[in-house]
Structure 1
């Protein structure tokens, strides 16, 4: 019998559309996989099995209604889901059940996807290690003693373990990219506005974006085609629908390679794996050039904007865990002069990168500066012998990119000697999501690291 739980979403969609398998058959295969594997990794924290099977039966009865017809999907526990517990990783909301779906959930369901449940996240998505006081830690399927990353760690672990073929997530400082790198799956931080974020408090805030996660780049594109698109509720929503790049391959593309994004410390194990990526693209016909970047202005800009946002979103410090509270406290200290400085820094960086994109089509770099770390550690305290000043600093390779208003994909790049996954980051000019995914697709096709599943 076919292992339906490890078929790609694209393959499953074709089988469902032609009725070679039923939605109920697909759903049962995934629910059985969840029952066997999820207790060991703690990726899906709220399961709605009975409801999912009922919806699958209705999907079979009524026939295909969209490109994701009958596909199981799990939603990050930051996204509201009507009638399904949504905790945001906070004990305050441990029993919270929303009465409406967030936009990304509505779009997935309108395309025929069937909700299986919610994936784990740190409190309010704070940090790149998925652990909270409601559900505990999510473990990496490739090594149960390691972190799955975050904050979309539950989503990445669920995909890697074959619990669902598609999952959504969000990314402020790397939360779609870091867990994808840690779990050998693919994640895309889209250009802000590609997938609208209908914030009720910070409608103009562009550092945080929702987006897709999957096991293959083709599945990312399948999902992105559904969740992308204009919505008047977002003031910077992109009007044009997402369409894949009609070109294939990377021959002739100008690729910039930065092994450390301008001097960041990188664990030697990560450096060894990611160093193979530019060679792959060079062999595929791309023009690859090592570059010396200076993205350091992104540090202050990111931290100021992030702190300001946390103070806005979380005014009651008494109900917050330590990481979220620290961010909100930092935000209370932000002044008008701080915001002005951050805006000047970000604008200058955007202008310099606009000139950079005149010379290069994509930028290749590590996603994370370290491979998956022990799950008991709250964060990475040291990278390549360099002490990290706080729990954020080890993720600079991801959050500096967030400041660029650019699309960035994390694609499996290989494994360390201990068998830990490592991803490579493919970054493009703003709005060039399709080109980023074109390069990612070509890289994936020849490396096929995504085909190596954990030995659960």
Structure 2
């Protein structure tokens, strides 16, 4: 954690502080919450019109009034927590009391929840002030952040390119210093793909680490999870310490004390074994130049004393994909089936959502059973790999950021993509096994476009996975590269 004692109180100086130093400076009253809010609002006014990362922004007067209340609390000796005075914009999939939660859909454009999602409730309790929401694809579907309510969110390093998704707004806001940290959620790489494409960090925690509430179902919806995004691994770990923790309303949530994630991430990794999954033995189509760039980044694991060897799970990967399709369609048809069944509402949603729901409607129970059996056997295959390796690593995306006006890549390296999300198949393995995954930067293409790696840890080894990601980050220094939009 930073030990800086002096702070540049100018708006530019404040937004350049890392979140750890910002929290310390606020707690020590070296800068006021009002100054912090003013600085971030100025940064939003300067850059958000270029990228459209933050939406449903709240009135400035109300935000400054809340910041003044946070300052008054500090003056009375009341410090709410690590996020005291932090401007935050929860992902527009997460319910926010009193602030619109549209999920990027015209069907919900007037939806204003009465209660917060648990991850938002915990952030507010730790002192955060909600300035608005971060943009997302409609219902979070697809790794390209655009919708008919707010439009396209653009990449922080090249606004002509996609920001990724579905936590695209959060990733761009982080990269451009419009937020100190950000929440996101991840089913099919939504914390990992946008982090990779905007040179920030995303962490998909173990299943149950961050309970998702309120929820219509807490037993069978086991693919998506909320988690932290930040400009460094240490900041992501601190945010996880706020987000994580058992909640009895979600009985499968993990009871481990979340304060552990606020501890030091320093660890000696000499002798650690890394299994490089690459393109899964040629199964995955990858854009030319992407795999070599990721393989170059592997040297940073070797620099901290790790050994890196090729690895491949003993499992038929097309069976894994079929399992993914069935489980995802089952969940989405349950969550969104009522919308698609309504002729009037159906015309308002994206065709990919209609396709997912209709596929789910046609899904036989026997296929769902086969899918969950395959998921179990896949998890055992990864466990077998973890007897040989301490961590597994693979790319965080199969392509570099593409044209923001393009819905999704129809082909990669001459191979046709048979669904709207096949181009993100690289992320489904850790999701299906419920494993912790850190998405970390892996460098830039010749065109200056970012990409990233997934560091996958064994079951419920979230802290160890963050430690490995931190050690890699310190060796690689990729997170220090700034967007040219920052000037």
How many residue pairs align between the two structures?
456
Structure 1 position 31 matched with structure 2 position 41: yes
- The alpha-carbon deviation at position 400 of structure 1 amounts to 2.7
Tell me the residue number matched to 2:52: 42
- In 1, Cα distance between the equivalents of 2:469 and 2:215? 33
- In 2, Cα distance between the equivalents of 1:99 and 1:198? 13
- In 2, Cα distance between the equivalents of 1:3 and 1:268? 39
Q: Which of 399, 404, 410 is equivalent to 1:381?
A: 410
- The alpha-carbon deviation at position 199 of structure 1 amounts to 5.0
Tell me the residue number matched to 2:267: 248
Structure 1 position 304 matched with structure 2 position 333: no
Q: Deviations over 1:255-288 (max 9, x none)?
A: 1112213321221222122112221111210122
Q: Which of 437, 443, 460 is equivalent to 1:431?
A: 460
Tell me the residue number matched to 1:168: 183
- In 2, Cα distance between the equivalents of 1:136 and 1:115? 21
1:268-307 superposed matches below 5 A: 268-294=288-314, 296=317, 297-307=319-329
Q: Which of 11, 18, 32 is equivalent to 1:22?
A: 32
SS at match of 2:90: strand
Q: Deviations over 1:45-76 (max 9, x none)?
A: 11113332211111111112211111111100
Q: Deviations over 1:285-342 (max 9, x none)?
A: 0122111235513211111110001111112314232111111111111111111110
Q: Deviations over 1:169-196 (max 9, x none)?
A: 1101110101101111100111010000
- In 2, Cα distance between the equivalents of 1:130 and 1:104? 21
- In 2, Cα distance between the equivalents of 1:52 and 1:221? 27
SS at match of 1:342: helix
SS at match of 1:58: helix
Root mean square deviation, CA, Å: 1.4
Structure 1 residues 282 and 102: alpha-carbon distance in aligned structure 2, compared to 1, 3 A threshold:
same
More strand by share: 1
SS at match of 2:101: coil
- In 2, Cα distance between the equivalents of 1:183 and 1:379? 17
- In 2, Cα distance between the equivalents of 1:262 and 1:235? 38
Tell me the residue number matched to 1:350: 379
Tell me the residue number matched to 1:108: 123
Structure 1 position 156 matched with structure 2 position 166: no
**Which consecutive residues of structure 1, in runs of 5 or more, have no partner in the other structure?**
none
Q: Deviations over 1:366-412 (max 9, x none)?
A: 00001100001100111122111121100000123211110111111
Structure 1 position 54 matched with structure 2 position 83: no
**Which consecutive residues of structure 2, in runs of 5 or more, have no partner in the other structure?**
1-9
Provide runs of 4+ in structure 1 moved above 4 Å.
none
- In 1, Cα distance between the equivalents of 2:35 and 2:471? 32
Tell me the residue number matched to 1:125: 140
- In 1, Cα distance between the equivalents of 2:355 and 2:250? 28
Q: TM-score with structure 1 length normalisation?
A: 0.97
Structure 1 residues 232 and 254: alpha-carbon distance in aligned structure 2, compared to 1, 3 A threshold:
same
- In 1, Cα distance between the equivalents of 2:371 and 2:408? 26
- In 2, Cα distance between the equivalents of 1:361 and 1:434? 13
SS at match of 1:147: coil
- In 1, Cα distance between the equivalents of 2:140 and 2:314? 28
- In 2, Cα distance between the equivalents of 1:340 and 1:179? 32
- In 2, Cα distance between the equivalents of 1:250 and 1:381? 40
C-alpha contact (below 8 Å) 1:262/1:293 kept by paired residues:
no
Tell me the residue number matched to 1:139: 154
- In 2, Cα distance between the equivalents of 1:280 and 1:371? 21
SS at match of 1:169: strand
- In 2, Cα distance between the equivalents of 1:247 and 1:9? 18
Q: TM-score with structure 2 length normalisation?
A: 0.91
C-alpha contact (below 8 Å) 1:140/1:182 kept by paired residues:
yes
Tell me the residue number matched to 1:238: 254
Structure 1 position 415 matched with structure 2 position 444: yes
- The alpha-carbon deviation at position 147 of structure 1 amounts to 0.2
- In 2, Cα distance between the equivalents of 1:356 and 1:400? 13
- The alpha-carbon deviation at position 247 of structure 1 amounts to 5.1
C-alpha contact (below 8 Å) 1:301/1:403 kept by paired residues:
no
